Amino acid sequence: MNRKIRIAVLVSGGGTNLQALIDAEKSGVLTSGEIVCVISSKAGAYALERAKNAGIDALTISRKDCRDLSEFEAGIVKALEDHGAEVIILAGFMSILSEDFTKRYANRIINVHPALIPSFCGKGYYGLKVHEEALKKGVKVSGATVHLVNEVCDGGEILAQKAVEVKEGDTPEKLQRRIMEQAEWKLLPEAAEKLCRRLLNEKKPETPSFTLRKWELSDAAGLAETINKVDRKYLTDGIPNPYTEKDAEWFITEMAQKGEAKNTGIFYGIVVDGKAVGNISVEKRSDLCSKVGVIGYCLIPEFYGRGIMTEAAKRICAEAFEKLDISRIEGTIFEPNMASRRVLEKAGFELEGVLRDAFYKNGKLYNEYVYGLVKGE
């Protein structure tokens, strides 16, 4: 059987666009992808019944029941990963996704908007509001647009558009129905098929070979350059900004070399093609049980999603259990760094608890996720 791209559809209401996708899959319009789950932001949405009737896994992650957007998106990410989703289709999904979320799934989220972007789009333009504004302006043509989703509301690359005539005597409801029938229900499945086919034909970049190398004073400039390229919202406030070569020299001398000499830690640079692209360590901490080590790591953004950090974590943890007198390694991740949570999970760490409002950064409280890896597991 030929491989198909696994699709998750996010909904909030009746699910007419979802039904168009389901019908397209049955009729052969959508052949390069398969809908594996439907996630609703509202309990009781009829779209969930459509999914169940089609034998598709359906679940609710209620926006109103979540404390904030971060918790809401964390639930969606968990569901997407549980289902192995590769493409996300927003089909009447009434929540604006964060920049962290859209970057995580860059060029893999598509949305259908009931107007010809850039007209009648952006924050606040959804549902009947779009058609009400179109009629107020007196436009003679409206339509639908399928576009990629990025951090700008309705601002991603346009994949397809179709114009629909506005008729004399139209109400917002009449215009909405005509645009759905003549444009949305056709464009969305076609665009989904094109995106899935393109992904199937793409050659995935190979994971580059890398080495773990002990830091030497001669590496100070490279370490400083690496730290300054890392996304700073995932670094603690204690990291100098900018991180200078002198900061790097201090780290190498006081932390890495002395820690290794005293057998209290392992500190490595992650090196690709002779150049440091990240940092990883397991350190015994005096404020914790003497048998516990703490893992820390960072990677420059252009190497995200390549499997490097997961493999590096596996290697250093195995070495730490062998060389350091520890029986457990702990990792803590604060929201919204979902990517780091997945690194730990894929490296074998288990979620042991969530500390609510545990980390304060940039004027906001974040949850802290505590993971543990036990020797021999």
Active site residues: 113
Total Cβ atoms within 10 A of residue 118:
11
Residue found under tokens 């444009």: 183
The four Cα atoms 296, 101, 345, 328 give a dihedral, to 10 degrees, of 30
Short-list 269, 271, 274, 277, CA closest to 225: 277
Tokens of 98: 């964060």
Question: What φ, ψ does residue 370 adopt, rounded to 5°?
Answer: -105, 125
d(CA 58, CA 39): 6
3-state secondary structure of 261: helix
d(CA 269, CA 227): 11
Task: Spell out the alpha helix ranges (H) of the chain.
Answer: 16-27, 46-53, 69-82, 99-104, 128-137, 172-179, 185-201, 220-229, 245-250, 258-261, 308-323, 338-346
Cα 75 to chain centroid distance, Å, stands at: 11
Type of residue numbered 282: V
Tokens of 323: 């060389």
266 contacts 282 by C-beta, under 8 angstroms: yes
d(CA 240, CA 115): 47
